[in-house]
Structures are given as structure tokens and as C-alpha cells.
Chains A and B, each alone.
Chain A
Amino acid sequence: MKLPLLDTESSRGFILRRTATTMASTEIARQAGEGARAVPLAGHVGFDSMPDQLVNKSVNHGFCFNILCVGETGLGKSTLMDTLFNTKFEGEPTQHNQPGVTLKSNTYELQESNVRLKLTVVNTVGFGDQINKEDSYKSIVEFIDAQFEAYLQEELKIKRTLHSYHDTRIHACLYFIAPTGHSLKSLDLVTMKKLDSKVNIIPIIAKSDAISKSELAKFKIKITSELVSNGVQIYQFPTDDESVAEINSTMNSHLPFAVVGSTEEVKIGNKMVKARQYPWGTVQVENENHCDFVKLREMLIRVNMEDLREQTHTRHYELYRRCKLEEMGFKDTDPDSKPFSLQETYEAKRNEFMGELQKKEEEMRQMFVQRVKEKEAELKEAEKELHEKFDRLKKLHQDEKKKLEDKRKSLDDELNMFKQKKTAAELLQNQAQQAGGSTTLKRDKERKN
């Protein structure tokens, strides 16, 4: 794109270029109220090229858009994507026997005139196929949160490259409703309720060529009222910008869009158009009487793509970020309602963190000291017991020894006594013998005499 050169338009005042609108009066009041005083210009300065400069930069940088398609297997999600973007995306039709819900995403580089778009299409595989569908929404919510988390992590890094970061956050979620003609399934309500605070939901009635026009009107009313009564917040096309307010509000009343997708072409008149051929007629995809496909394309791509991206960033992502930071213990103000500076917050966290680590270390040390003490006491007890045991044994031994001594002593005494007795007796004997001898001698003598 060429740089805007010296402008020859010199009139002062307000020249409308392209679809530039005058600012809403509230906007002006807000700016002026911020301390900026309005001053008139004496000529053409040239900063009205700012939007062009910005646009140039965006075009050079390329755009990025991520769509999530949620719906049961067989509702024509892939076909609709192909039809919307007029190209053949990857993918084989999936079977109904998936054990759980998985999300598959593919990224494509598209270019239309000079605009490059990095489009990521995420498909839910196996949604609604299980017998127990209670956890169906979980993988979807996890996936969306994971994209937010990745962005948040990048944003929190010390050295970050947000400018060249490939944004994978989901900007729009097309929710495919089965064309039963009656009402929303409970799975639909549950899933949409879980997703409405995380992503822009655009509900669409899939394969709507199965419903007649009168049934369709009733179906749409039923769906809208069910969504409202269950408090499901679907994406509303913005009506605050004057240039698109009218078309957006009309379209809002046509929600949910009833679409038909087809990549096959049929000759109608002298043109080849995308259509589905039945024995009773041909459903033309781009015929506004036949289905709302054109409306969807207008709203999703041509008019509100940028708004979808902005909403994702300023509303859904901010909500996620706020919850996550609060979970991590961040606050904006301290108990005295003074605002924290980032440095203070991080320093406080770091101190807390270090304190925690030190406490853990201390605790472990203390535990060991305790154990050592206990074990020491135990061992001392054992030692004491051992000594006591051997003291007892020693005492026993002493007693035995004493008994032995006593016995020995008594034996010795007996022996002595015996000896004495013996010697006494022998002495007596000897005396007796002597006396007897002498008596015998006497007798003998007497005899002799």
C-alpha cells in the first residue's frame, strides 16, 4: 500500500473518509474530562491518516482468526467450514465410535486480495457420541482454557514477544444444533452454558434443509427462548458502531442462523452455484430464501470478525486472566486499599515463597532432631536395661558365691569337728588300750603271781 503523501485537501473541519464516523459524544466527553482540552486546528495537519497507518501495519503483519466448531458427529461441520471459506480443508469424516471428545485443530494460510489470514479451525471429534455424555463439555472447556493459559504465560514472561506471538485463543465458537425441529437437547444447553463465559458462541441450526420454513420459524423461537430462560449468553452482533448498527441489529433477530453447507456445484440457469440436489428440487446455499448461509458469512467474516477478536481479548480472556491471577493470590490493593505496584507484588510473593521454603527446611530439620532424640532415649533405655540385667545377674552370682562359701565353711567346720572327734576318740582308744594293756599286764602279772 502506498504511503499517503502530502494531502491536498485543505479544508478544515470534518471530512468523512471511507466509513469513518464521528465520535460518539460520550467518547469526546470522556477524553476531554481526562484533562485534555480541545483545541481547534488552523489547517490540515495530517494525522487523519493514523487509521490508515494502523491498517497498513495490520495488513503487513497479517491477521489471525480461530474458529471452534462444536456439534455432534455428522452435522456437517467440516462441510460448512469448506463452504464458508471456499476451500477444501483437511479431514476425513469421523466415525461414531470415539470413546471421548477430542479436539483437532488445523491451521491454514488464506489470502484474499492483499489480506493474509491465518485461520485455525478446531473440530470437536466424538462430541455427543458417547452413551454417558456428562463429561463431553470438559475437553472443550479445557482446550479453550489451555489457549488462554498459553497466552497468559506468554504475557507474564520476563522476555516476551507478544508482537509475533501466534494467538491461538478461540475467537468464535459455532455451535451446531441438530435440526430436530423441536427444541434444544439437554447436552446442547449444558455445553453452551459452560462455554458462554469463555468464548463467543454463535449457535447455528445445521442441515437446515431438513426443516420446512414454518417449522423453522417455530424452531428458532423455541431455541431463543430456551437459551434466554437458561441464561445462556450467546454472542450479540455489536450495535454501538453507527455504520454497522443497523445491519447487526437486524441480523441479531435472525439468530440462530439456519445453514446448509455444500461443496458441490450445480448448474442453475447459466451459473454454477453451490447447492444440494434433491429429487424434489435444489437447495442453493447462497440463496437467502433457502437458508441463512449468506447472513452467517456476512456477520461472521465480513462485518464482525474484528469485533469477535476484540471481545475474545477484552472480555473472555480478561475474565480468565482475572480468575487465574486471583487464584494465584494476586490482589490489586493491600488491606489498606493502597494499590500495589507490580514490583511490590512480585517481591511480596517472592518473600512469601522464600519464607515457605525456609520453613519447610526448618520443619524437616526439626523432625530429624526429634527422631534423633527419641532414638537416643530408646537406646539409653535399652542400655540401662542391659546394665540392670547384668547387675541382677551379678548379684545372683554373689549370692551363689556366698552360699558356696558358707557351704564350704560348714564343711570345713564339720571336717574339723570330725578330725577332733577322731583324734579324741583315738586318744581315748590309745588310753584305753594302754589302760587295757596295763590291766592285761596287771592281770597277766596277777596271773603270774
Chain B
Amino acid sequence: MIERPEAAVPSIAQRNLEGYVGFANLPNQVYRKSVKRGFEFTLMVVGESGLGKSTLINSLFLTDLYSKDYPGPSQRIKKTVQVEQSKVLIKEGGVQLTLTIVDTPGFGDAVDNSNCWQPVINYIDSKCEDFLNAESRVNRRSMPDNRVHCCLYFIAPSGHGLKPLDIEFMKRLHDKVNVIPLIAKADTLTPEECQLFKKQIMKEIQEHKIKIYEFPDTEDDEDNKLIRKIKEKMPLAVVGSNVVIEVNGKKVRGRQYPWGVAEVENGEHCDFTVLRNMLIRTHMQDLKDVTNNVHYENYRSKKLAAVTCNGVDTTKTKGQLTKSPLAQMEEERGDHVTKMKKMEAEMEQVFEMKVKEKKQKLKDSEAELERRHEMMKRNLEAQYKELEEKRRVYEDEKANWEAQQRILEQQKLDASKTMEKNKKKGKIF
């Protein structure tokens, strides 16, 4: 694979413009394109039945998301926790928003609520997985973003503190999605009770190390002041209403009581406007960015690490996380090649040694046999020589004796000849 080239120049020089260039228009270009593309946002609401979730959604978006034609989940009684989504398209000021509301009817309503957060977690993970698969396809066309960008968690206005279910849920979801806790039906609490309640909740959140969504600091000091004010009001105590009432000649959304009207959009009555401003008007994009850059990346790296490391102890593989699974396979392949080379060298060595041994043994036995053969040959030769010697002696002796015999014979012959002569001569009688 091609290595990262040196196009990323290490030193970046500052340059001053001496005249009009025109890239200050870039923001406008971005604006234009984003409007053309349209926006999408997925909001999840979680809480027990009857906490006013659907009403709050309707109030937030000034629309009847759940109406007679599309009854909300609260109208239906659920035995188990469901996760339901409704998609609506809303337009305002030329800007189009595809809003997906994810509701969780049945949450916390059973007698035994163990694992009632599991369907929620499964839903969030499945949306992340869809996105991961879409992002990893070879042919990528559109990548619709259905990931959950924000989760509004509704806390019952008991006035005391968080319930174990609340703590458990937020602990399990705070690193999967942006969690914004809300105090529901806040018109049942007096301002002082509300303050105490809020303090208690924040204390418990910190105790349990729950990471709720945090507002990012900006460079502008004015904005930072506003942000700090909002932070002090967390968790936001909200009231929702589908009904428009006339108060002092003005038409406002509110809840009519015998003792007065609790106005939804009155900052002194509840924190609804703060929620709306924060959620929709100022931090919607940031919620999406945090989901994309933090929660989704967490999910993705966990998923891919599981694939490549195959359950190996993660502390050992920390260094491998900086590569793609494929690069890791390449590295493993390289390691394997080295290992194989070493193995080959070792086996080669052993082989050579054994061959040498065997050859040596063969040589030795050959030498031994040669030696013995030589010895026997020499032995034989010695014997031959001995025999030869013996024969020679014998031959000599024989020759001598034969010579002697011949002489004797000759003598005898001579003697007999003489005798014959003498006989003839009459000397013999």
C-alpha cells in the first residue's frame, strides 16, 4: 500500500492577503449547499408512561406529531418495551428537516424492569450498525443518517432524587448517545422544590459518574456566559401542552388550573424555552457532531476491534487500533512471513545436520570396511608369499634330489655298463 506521502507539509506558513480574494464567501456557499441538502435529526424520548413525553414533543415542534390519525404510543398499552419511530418532514424558512422521533412505550412500566433498557440499546446499536454498513459498502450512494442524535430522559417529579432505574439507564446509555435528562411535569413542583430537586439530581449524576451531554464552550465570551447560565439550570424542568389558552389577550400554550395557567413558554414557569432554544436553535448541529465524532466512532472502533482481534486481550492490541483491519492483516502477514522464514531456516539447519551425520556414519563404515579388506588382502598376500617360498624350497630340493638321482642313475648305468663289459670280457663268472 502506498505510504502517506509528504504532501502534508510539516510547516504551514502564514500569509497575509493584500487584496480581495473572495473565499470569505465560503460560508455562504456552505449555507447554500446545506439548505439544498436538507437536514435530518433523530430524537429519542425515554421515560415511564404518563410523564408527558408526546405532549412535550408536540410542544417543542409546534405540531401534532401524534394526532387522531397517527395515535402515539401512549394510546396503546404495551406489555414489553417497544421502540417505535415516527418520521415527519417539517419545513421552515426554506429549511427542510426530516425529524425522526423514537419513542419507548412500556419503558419502566412493568413490575420487573430489569433489562428494560436493552431494547433501547439494541435500537441505538442497530442504527449505528446500519450506518457502519452503509459507510463500508463498496458502492456508497446516499448514507442516510438514522443514528440517534439525542436522548431526552424524563425523570418523574418526585422531588427526592433519581430512581435506581434512572441511574441504571443513564449509566448504560451515556457512552452510546447524548443523554439530556429532563424533569417532566415540572408544574407539580414549586420553584424551591425544583431547585432542591435539581441539585439532588446533579449530585447523584456526578456521584455515579454519568456523562450527560455537555455544552461545548465557544470562543465568544458572551455565548459562554449564556452557556454557563444554562448549565446551572440543568437538568431542565419542562412542561408541555397541546392546548392554546388566552392569557391577558395573548394566545399561549399552557395548562389551565383553577389557580392559574402554567405557561409553557414562560421562562419563570419552566425551562421549556431553554430546552427548545438549546435543542433546536443552537445546539442541534453540535448534538449531531458529537454523535458522529464520539459515540459513533466509539461503536465503530469497538466493532472493528472485535473483528480483527478476535477477542484477544485489548490491552495488548492497543497499538493495533491505529490501523485499519486490513493494514493489520498485512502486518500479521509480514510477521508470519518472518516466522516462516525463521522456521524454514531452522528446519533447514536440522536437516543439514542430520544429513551430515548420516553421511559421516556412512563414510566411517566405508573406511572401516576398506581397512578390514586391506588387512585381509595383505594377510592373503603374506600367505601367498609364504607358499611361494615353500614351493621354491621344495622345487630346489626336488631339483637337487632329481639331479642326485640322475647322477646315481648315471653311475648305476655306468656300473652296469662296465659290468656288462666285464662280463663280456669274462671277468665275471
In the complex the two chains form, what is the Cα distance from A50 to B280 in whole Å? 8
Interface size on B, residues (CB 8 A): 136
Residues of A within 8 A of B129 (CB): 341
Q: Quote the shortest CB–CB distance from A242 to chain B (angstroms).
A: 9
Q: What are the interface flags for A341-360 relative to B under an 8 Å C-beta threshold, 1 for contact and 0 otherwise?
A: 11101110110010001001
Q: B residues near A, CB below 8 A?
A: 1-2, 4-5, 7-9, 12-36, 38-39, 41, 60-65, 70, 87-98, 100, 129, 132-133, 136-140, 144, 218-220, 222-223, 226, 273, 276-277, 280-286, 289, 293, 297, 300-301, 303-308, 310, 320-329, 332-333, 336, 340, 343-344, 347, 351, 354-355, 358-359, 362, 365-366, 369, 373, 376-377, 380, 383-384, 387, 390-391, 394, 397-398, 401, 405, 408, 412, 428-429
A342 with B133: CB separation less than 8 A: yes
In the complex the two chains form, what is the Cα distance from A6 to B277 in whole Å? 7
Residues of B within 8 A of A24 (CB): 36
With contacts A168-B7, A375-B355 known, is A353 near B333, CB below 8 A?
Answer: yes
A18-77 residues with Cβ-Cβ distance < 8 A to B are 18-24, 27-28, 31-32, 34-60, 63, 65
Residues of B within 8 A of A111 (CB): 17
A55 with B140: CB separation less than 8 A: no
B15 with A108: CB separation less than 8 A: yes
In the complex the two chains form, what is the Cα distance from A349 to B327 in whole Å? 12
B222 with A2: CB separation less than 8 A: yes
In the complex the two chains form, what is the Cα distance from A353 to B327 in whole Å? 12
In the complex the two chains form, what is the Cα distance from A63 to B27 in whole Å? 9
B90 with A87: CB separation less than 8 A: no
Residues of A within 8 A of B65 (CB): 39
* B70 to chain A: closest residue by CB: A37
A158 with B304: CB separation less than 8 A: yes
B387 with A411: CB separation less than 8 A: yes
Q: Is A298 an interface residue (CB 8 A)?
A: yes
A50, A52, A330 — which one has the most chain B CB atoms within 10 A of its CB?
A50
Known: A45-B276, A57-B286. 10 other contacts (CB 8 A): A27-B36, A59-B27, A60-B218, A122-B7, A146-B4, A158-B323, A168-B7, A244-B32, A357-B332, A394-B373
A87 with B344: CB separation less than 8 A: no
9 contacts between A and B (CB under 8 A): A31-B96, A40-B63, A60-B218, A65-B23, A150-B5, A158-B300, A158-B308, A302-B25, A371-B351
With contacts A2-B223, A55-B31, A122-B7 known, is A346 near B286, CB below 8 A?
Answer: no
With contacts A48-B95, A158-B320, A310-B33 known, is A350 near B308, CB below 8 A?
Answer: yes
A38 with B12: CB separation less than 8 A: no
Q: Is A135 an interface residue (CB 8 A)?
A: no
With contacts A39-B88, A110-B21, A158-B305 known, is A63 near B26, CB below 8 A?
Answer: yes
Q: Is A322 an interface residue (CB 8 A)?
A: yes
A404-435 residues with Cβ-Cβ distance < 8 A to B are 404, 407-408, 411, 414-415, 418, 422, 425, 429, 432
Q: Is A338 an interface residue (CB 8 A)?
A: no
Q: Is A145 an interface residue (CB 8 A)?
A: yes
B30 with A58: CB separation less than 8 A: yes
CB contact between B369 and one of A5, A297, A386 (< 8 Å): that residue: A386
Residues of A within 8 A of B281 (CB): 3-4, 6-7, 46-47, 49
Q: Quote the shortest CB–CB distance from B322 to chain A (angstroms).
A: 6
B87 with A34: CB separation less than 8 A: yes
Q: Is A318 an interface residue (CB 8 A)?
A: yes
A105 with B24: CB separation less than 8 A: no
A220-236 residues with Cβ-Cβ distance < 8 A to B are none
B88 with A36: CB separation less than 8 A: yes
B89 with A45: CB separation less than 8 A: no
Residues of A within 8 A of B89 (CB): 28, 31-32, 36-39
Residues of B within 8 A of A40 (CB): 63
Q: Quote the shortest CB–CB distance from B51 to chain A (angstroms).
A: 22
A115 with B26: CB separation less than 8 A: yes
In the complex the two chains form, what is the Cα distance from A291 to B232 in whole Å? 60
Q: Is A1 an interface residue (CB 8 A)?
A: yes
